[in-house]
Structure 1
Amino acid sequence: MKYISIVVPVYNEQENVSVFYQEVCKHMEATGYPFELIFVDDGSTDETTFILNKLTQQDTRVCAIILARNFGHQVALTCGLDHARGDAVITMDGDMQHPPAMLPLLINKWENGFEVVQTIRKDTQGVSWFKGFTSRMFYRTINAMSDIDMAEGGSDFRLLDRKVVDTFKNFKEKARFIRGIIGAMGYRRIQIEFVAPQRFAGKSKFSLKKMLNFALDGITAYSKLPLRLAFYMGLLSGLLSLLLTVDVIYTKLFTTEAVPGWATIAASVLLLGGLQLVGLGIIGEYIGRIFEEVKERPLYWVSDELKSSVEVRTKKQETVA
């Protein structure tokens, strides 16, 4: 019988983990599929690791991978996908905003032949106007600037067939933007819309700084347009400077209105200096990402892997045999 893996990155989710576990088990048991529930603890500093350890001892279907430090949501997802063994792998967050009740629906679409079942968040209960607005602008911007087409509201709540997961493992870039990677891979896919409920407990760990870094990762990973814009701004500023130079020469040689041009010089210097700094900043962003890639450091490293002692003993016996 086919096997399902569920990958869940968590970071300081002590109030949500147990409730999430119970809901996932309830809905997965209703499908009749055997499954494994893989938690990836992304460097939690609260009681999350302790709770995960208890769950692994109570249920052999649960395992927890403890990362040595906080690597970020996208890297934690990658770690879980690397360890997942299922014929299909479902990735979702552990704060209950990705409803476990949708798991049977995702599996049903997979049974019908779809290799990527992508959920689309149409709305999030209790989310601020600012966060909703910036999310919409991000998707519109990246779709306009790149060749990939990502649906507005796309989330990391999705089902991937085993062949898709195996293909994903070939992508080695450090600046991870999994929504873009999956979106650019192809395969037979379907989208399912849902309304995300409020977090069950706690606060979102996705700060404004992390949102900006996430957006930059997505844009720089799939678009060279910012570099071209810097080039076009340089051409435009050069043309304006040339026209200004012609005007200055004409005024000096053919009129008597020449006056000390400190204002003109100051304005032109500020304009050119600002455009140059913008261009250098864009180039620097890309060079910084090249620098991170060429170091070839591991994407993550694991501090511990928690599993049921029963499962561990069984594996040891199989090894001895």
Structure 2
Amino acid sequence: MSKNILLSIIIPVYNEEDVLCMFMKRVSEVIKKIHNIKAEYIFINDGSTDDTLINLIALKKTYPQIKIIDLSRNFGKEAAMTAGLQYANGSIIIPIDADLQDPPELIPEMISKWQEGFDVVLAHRSNRDSDSFLKRFTARCFYWLNNKISTPHIPDNVGDYRLISRPVVDALNTLPESKRFMKGLFAWVGFKTTQVDYVRDERAAGESKFNGWKLWNFALEGLTSFGTVPLRIWTYVGALVAGISFILTLKILIQVIFLGIDVPGYASIMVAVTFLGGLQLIGIGTLGEYLGRAYMETKNRPIFIVRKIL
């Protein structure tokens, strides 16, 4: 490997004042031990309301390799990561969270895989016991469903923590969409990929900023970002319901005309109306998700706005 390979470490932060010092101390110790690697630390302050920015400015005095991208408000993690990718200068780039659930000690192994010729080195969570049962279960359901209905395939139990080479970043930076699902975009651009396994730790400090509602919306974003199968499903559901309705209609006609059986109407009508009404609302909601995405994309607004670079 040639000398002075620049590694860009991208760290989106939102209200992470409690972990920044621990993070920098631990990551910098890891980087010091890697031969012929120098690092820049790109922190994207995603509209934090605590002392995150103040602490970053203080840390910069100790670690001059830090670059702070201060966004004008909270745009969300996907936008913050996009900002980091656009401002990264390294030949290799690693996005990582500041909470230290993803161990920085994995970085040397990632770099070794890159030296072997891989453009993407995924950090695969071989054990997620640090997460709650509900989070693990819903994650499995999401990956299974997403990979059934969408292209490309998103690797199971792989987050944003990974190594990507400069060609991969350049490809990602050319993608124009503003509603970004980064796990899908990472998979979509392709390139030669491998993975390394690790066990996810508990958060070093602070609390997760993703609650159940945010995770649900994030999952919907992923399911509608890379395929139209959810729309196509409703064509088949409609055909199935119409077929069943036709059969029931024939049954009622036979009972009334040929057998003289009086068919009570109130209960059956209420069931039919509420059932079909529910199906229609779900179908309209699915259509609305796609229309909403198209509507937001036509506005062509920037993904993020930078207030200041420090």
TM class, shorter-length: over 0.9
Alpha carbons 1:125, 1:198 under 8 Å: kept: no
Could you list the per-position Cα deviations for residues 213-265 of structure 1 after superposition, in whole angstroms to 9, with x for gaps in the alignment? 11111110112111011111111111111112212222221122124422222
Secondary structure of 2:186's counterpart equals helix
Which has the larger displacement, 82-91 or 264-273? Answer: 264-273
Aligned position for 2:159? 155
Whether the aligned pair in 2 keeps the contact of 1:2 and 1:87 (CA below 8 Å) is: yes
Q: Corresponding residue for 2:32?
A: 29
**Coordinate RMSD, CA, aligned:** 1.2
Q: Secondary structure at the match of 2:206?
A: coil
* Alpha-carbon distance in structure 2 between the residues aligned to 1:300 and 1:110: 30
Q: Does 1:178 align with 2:179?
A: no
Question: After superposition, what is the alpha-carbon deviation per residue over 1:82-139, rounded to whole angstroms, capped at 9, x for unaligned?
Answer: 0000011111100001111111111111111110011111223432110111111111
Match 1:230 to one of 234, 244, 258 = 234
Q: Report the equivalent of 1:310.
A: none
1:6 alignment partner AA: I
Q: Is the 8 Å Cα contact of residues 28 and 35 (structure 1) preserved in structure 2?
A: yes
Runs in 1 of length 4+ with deviation above 4 angstroms? none
Tell me, in whole angstroms, the C-alpha distance in 1 between the residues paired with 2:258 and 2:129.
68
**Given the alignment, which residue of 49, 55, 60 partners 2:59?**
55
Which residue of 268, 271, 276 corresponds with 1:264?
268
State the distance in 1 between where 2:85 and 2:263 align. 69
Report the more deviating stretch, 268-277 or 36-45.
268-277
> Match of 1:223, SS?
coil
Instruction: Quote the residue 2:45 is aligned against.
Output: 41
CA contact (8 A) 2:123 2:159 kept: yes
- SS of the residue aligned with 1:147? coil
Instruction: Please say which of residues 220-229 and 159-168 is displaced more in the overlay.
Output: 220-229
Between the aligned partners of 1:88 and 1:58, the Cα distance in structure 2 is 24
Maintained 8 Å contact 2:252/2:263: no
Deviation at 1:305, TM superposition (A): 1.3
1:81 corresponds to which residue? 85
How many angstroms apart in 1 are the aligned matches of 2:68 and 2:158? 26
Query: Cα deviations across residues 125-174 of structure 1 (Å, max 9, x unaligned)?
Result: 43211011111111111111113222210110011100110000111212
The question of 1:2 aligning with 2:5 is answered yes
In the aligned structure 2, how far is the partner of 1:151 from the partner of 1:31?
Answer: 28
Contact 1:124–1:198 (CA under 8 A) maintained in structure 2: no
2:16 is the alignment partner of 1:13: yes
The equivalent position to 2:120 in structure 1, one of 102, 116, 119, is 116
Cα-to-partner distance string for 1:22-54 (whole Å, 9 max, x where unaligned): 111111111131110000111111111100011
TM-score, normalised via structure 2 length: 0.96
Q: How far apart, in 2, do the equivalents of 1:272 and 1:182 lie?
A: 39
After superposition, where does 1:256-295 map in structure 2 within 5 Å?
256-295=260-299
- Map of 1:253 onto structure 2: 257
Unaligned 5+ segments in structure 1 are: 307-321
**What SS does the corresponding residue of 1:98 show, helix, strand or coil?**
coil
TM-score (structure 1 length as normaliser): 0.92
Q: Match of 1:97?
A: 101
Count of residues in correspondence between the two structures: 306
Query: Does the 8 Å contact 2:142/2:219 carry over to 1?
Result: yes
Alignment check: 8 A CA contact 1:173 1:293 kept: yes
